[in-house]
Amino acid sequence: MKMTKKIILALTFSLAVLSIQTASAQIVRYGFRGGIDVINPSFNSDALKVSNRVGYQLGASLDLTVPIIGLGLETGALFGRHNYDSNSLMKNQNNDISSFNYLQVPVFIKQKFSILGLAGLYFTAGAYGNIKLSGGDLTLEGEKYEAKGFQTGLSGGAGVSLLNHLELGFIYRHKLGDTYSSSTTDLSRYNKVDRNIWSITAAYYF
C-alpha cells in the first residue's frame, strides 16, 4: 500500500513538472521574423511582384503569451530597408531620395486563438520605433534634407499560425510625425511617401 502511494506521488510530481515545463514553453518563445513591404497588399502572387515591393525587414522576435487565454506581447529587433521610386516622386532628375536603412523595435499586444496548437488566428496592435542607420536623405535642387534619426508609429496586423511555430500574416504601419523638416521649403509631398506601409510577414518560433 505504501509502495502504491509512493508510485502515485511520484507520477503526480512528474506530471506537475511536465505541466510547468509545457506552460513555460508556451509563455516565452524566441524566433525569427521577416517581411516584405508592398505598395498594394493582396492575397495572390501579384503582391510579391518586383514592381509591388518597396522594402523588407528581417530580425529576431520575442513572443510572450499567457497560456489558455492566448493574450500576450510581441517585441524584437528588425533590420529594415525602404526603397523609393524616384521616377514617380521627382520632377527633376537631379533630385533623389536615397534608400533608408533602419533598426525597428516593435511592441505589440497580441491575441491568439488556437485549435489544439495545430492552427489558429492571431491579431496584433501596438507601436514601433525606427532608429536610422543610414540613407533616407532627400535632395531637392541641390539642397539636402536629412531624414530624422528616430521615428515612431502605430501598427496593427493579423494572420494565421500553423503547428504553434509558423506565423503568416499582414502588418499595417502608420508613421507619426514627418521624416523631413524645413523652415523654408514645403516638404509635405515627400513626408507622405512612406506614411502608410503594408507588409507581408512570416515568423518562425522555436
Looking at CATH, the fold of the domain delimited by 28-205 is given as Porin (2.40.160)
Q: What's the pLDDT score for residue 19?
A: 44
Q: Please report, for residues 5, 115, 151, 173, the alpha-carbon distance to residue 157 in angstroms, rounded to integers and kept in the order given.
A: 52, 20, 20, 9
For residue 151, name the pLDDT band (cuts at 50, 70, 90): very high
Give me the mean pLDDT over the 80-98 stretch.
78
pLDDT digits over 106-142, tens only?
A: 999 999 998 877 899 999 999 999 999 999 999 888 8
For residue 23, name the pLDDT band (cuts at 50, 70, 90): very low
Please provide the average confidence, as pLDDT, over all residues in the chain. 84
Highest mean pLDDT among 10-19, 39-48, 113-122, 158-167: 158-167
Domain boundaries of the chain, sorted by first residue: 28-205
- Check residues 2 and 162 and name the one with the higher pLDDT: 162
Q: Which three cell numbers stand for residue 173?
A: 504601419
Q: Could you tell me if 39 and 76 are in contact, meaning their C-beta atoms sit under 8 angstroms apart?
A: no
Q: Which has the minimum average pLDDT: 16-30, 140-154, 186-200?
A: 16-30
